[in-house]
Amino acid sequence: MPHDPCMTRLPVEIRPARPKDAAEIARIHVQAWQESYRGLLPDDLLARQDVSARQKIWEQALEQGQTRIVIAPGAGFAQLGPQREAEFAADWPLELWAMYLLDDAKRRGIGRALWAALAPQKPMTCCVLITNLPAIAFYEAIGGRRLLTRDEEIAGTPIREHVNGFAP
């Protein structure tokens, strides 16, 4: 069988993010959006993603410390925080606010390593575009179950998303 370099598992450092990581997280966030959502969201929305603006958001999040953020430098990051939606808060007190990997980092075990580093101890939810089939497959593989599908908006763009639930 031919060697598939995409399946190679590379050693990668997974650690809690620090305030000095804000620029790296912002860069990964924007690049991962542009790679992962190409063809799923409008090109002009993806082109408007701004690293400087994202960096300010991540600086604030890291300074406030109200969420748990882990990073695989050069590859991806994940953010876990309190549930932001009242309808889920009683049964699903945590929410995966973000999990983004660069295309080159996908299918190498880094997503699972980020997930493990978050170590959620309570039930949680996450949202995923219904057209993002690789992300849907990933969340199902790590134990997510679909709670509902709904219509939402991202920056004025209508989308459909699944809300997945995870038990610890």
Side chain identity at residue 82, one-letter code: P
pLDDT band for 11, please (50, 70, 90 cuts).
low
pLDDT at residue 7, as a whole number: 47
**Does residue 66 carry a pLDDT above 60?**
yes
Q: Under CATH, to which class is 5-166 assigned? A: alpha beta
First to last CA, the chain: 37
* Average of per-residue pLDDT across 51-58: 98
pLDDT at residue 89, as a whole number: 95
Q: What single DSSP character describes residue 77?
A: E
Lowest mean pLDDT among 1-15, 77-91, 148-162: 1-15
CA angle in degrees (0–180, nearest 5) for 75-69-167: 100
**Does residue 158 carry a pLDDT above 70?**
yes
**Does residue 103 carry a pLDDT above 70?**
yes
* Domain residue extents for the chain: 5-166
φ and ψ at residue 5, rounded to 5 degrees? -65, -20
pLDDT at residue 3, as a whole number: 38
pTM: 0.90
C-alpha R_g of the chain: 16
**Does residue 6 carry a pLDDT above 50?**
no
